Structure 1
Amino acid sequence: MSEHSPTDTGINERIAQRVRELRAARGFTLEALATRSGVSRSMISMIERGSASPTAVVLEKLASGLGVSMASLFGGASESAPAEPLARRDAQSQWRDPQSGYTRRSLSPANWPSPIQLVEVDFPPGARVAYETGSREHVFHQQVWLLEGRLNVELGDQLHALEAGDCLAMRLDQPLIFSNPASQPARYLVAICDARGS
């Protein structure tokens, strides 16, 4: 499908801007980022132009190559925009993974100087997302609090079967797989912490 909803187009433009800004800030050429991330130069170019709808797996690879969390790619504001401590719900960016159909909402205020980012996820029945990224230049910690449904989380070779109310803490330094084994959607909150601090 080549058609995008207005929401998809807006978030793709914000992702494009963030990737361009982060790549420029680090002095990476397209080729250098492609080498670091494992994402092709042509795909990065399409993402930076806002003409591609990248999957969660591709965005995670780019985030790893740029040394940031995937959540930071959805910031919704230019790095030069003033930081505000309050993010109203209607201003929070929402994105849908074109491959798995899961939806993520960035809850944290854009550009606010904090090492913590919060994300709300709606994960469809039977959906599966496998992040292949292993060791990183910078360590990120993540906690997943399952609000509704069931969720399987595989970190490296360890499987965690979560039920509503369970909270799982992990370091993002191994391959990570999320899957919903149930016939109902799962909804969870993700808290990401950059170990480098704010």
Structure 2
Amino acid sequence: MDINALIARRVRELRDSHGLSLEALAERSGVSRSAISLIERAQSSPTATVLDKLATALGVVLASLFEASATPAEAPSPLARAAEQAVWTDPGSGYVRRSLSPALPSPIQLVEVHFPAGQRVAYETGARDAEIHQQIWLIEGAMEISAGDAHWRLEAGDCVAMRLDCPTVFHNPTRKPARYLVALSTLPFSSVRRNA
């Protein structure tokens, strides 16, 4: 399936499941109604920043916008073949993300990222309906990552853990591309409060 068609279907499904009109999602996300409409018709290739705003407004992680929906007649697969994994390229920075996780529901999602030399992506992550944690393990290259006031420089083999509850910036300050693995874990706030 075309990646923009997949994103279009997921945004529309998530918006419908929340009972939101285009206007309501536009107000919640800060993305214009016309831009959302183009995304939902697969007539636009949105940037990572725009997709993050939509994901935040819909109360999901960015990776959720790249998940294929299982048809009601079939059970979600516990296997994700490489040829079937959703691959998306950010038109703004050129970074490439591959959703590695299978369709079978899990509290963990894995994403592989190829990040071009000299590029930067900033996410204005806001409040969500769930507590989201991520760990980033750098496979090759170097990356500078900021989450709120915290800042780290990662070299190959380094791993950093953070919550997605503040603005986050990814920057490759070098002349070589970087590659890293992202592991995301989501807990509903009600579960977090109950177990605290």
TM-score by length of 2: 0.92
Amino acid at match of 1:82: A
| Aligned mates of 2:115, 2:184 — CA distance in 1 | 18
- Provide the C-alpha distance between the structure 2 equivalents of 1:67 and 1:83, rounded to a whole number of angstroms: 22
Q: Is the 8 A contact 1:152 1:179 kept in 2?
A: yes
Contact kept? 2:56, 2:126, Cα under 8 Å: no
2:180 maps to amino acid? Y
Match for residue 73 of structure 1 among 26, 48, 65: 65
User: Is 1:113 matched with 2:105?
Assistant: yes
For 2:13, the aligned partner's letter is E
In the TM superposition, what whole-angstrom CA distance separates every residue of 1:116-144 from its partner, at most 9, and x where no partner exists? 11000000000100001233232211110
**8 Å CA contact 2:67, 2:86 repeated in 1:** yes
Structure 1: unaligned runs, 5 residues or longer: 1-6
Aligned equivalent of 2:117: 125
Number of residue pairs the alignment of both structures matches? 188
Within a 5 Å distance, the mapping from 1:4-43 to structure 2 comes to 10-43=2-35
Deviations 1:65-107 (A, max 9, x none): 0000000100133464530000000010100000000000000
CA distance in 2, matches of 1:77, 1:14: 9
Conserved 8 A contact 2:56-2:127 = no
Shift of residue 158, structure 1, vs aligned partner: 1.5
Pairing partner for 1:84 from 73, 77, 86: 77
Match of 1:3 in 2: none
Report the RMSD for the aligned CA atoms in angstroms. 1.3
Aligned partner of 1:97 among 57, 71, 90: 90
Q: What's the counterpart of residue 190 of structure 1?
A: 182
Change over 3 Å in CA distance of 1:72–1:185 after alignment to 2 = same
SS at match of 2:130: coil
Unaligned runs of 5+ in 2: 192-196
Q: Is the 8 A contact 2:60 2:128 kept in 1?
A: no
Identical aligned residues as a percent: 60
Deviates more, 1:100-109 or 1:155-164: 155-164
Aligned equivalents of 2:86, 2:120: Cα separation in 1: 22
TM-aligned CA distance change 1:46 to 1:103, over 3 Å: same
Q: In the TM superposition, what is the alpha-carbon distance from 1:180 to its structure 2 partner?
A: 0.2
Counterparts of 2:164 and 2:99 in 1: how far apart (Å)? 19
Question: How much has 1:170 moved relative to structure 2?
Answer: 0.4
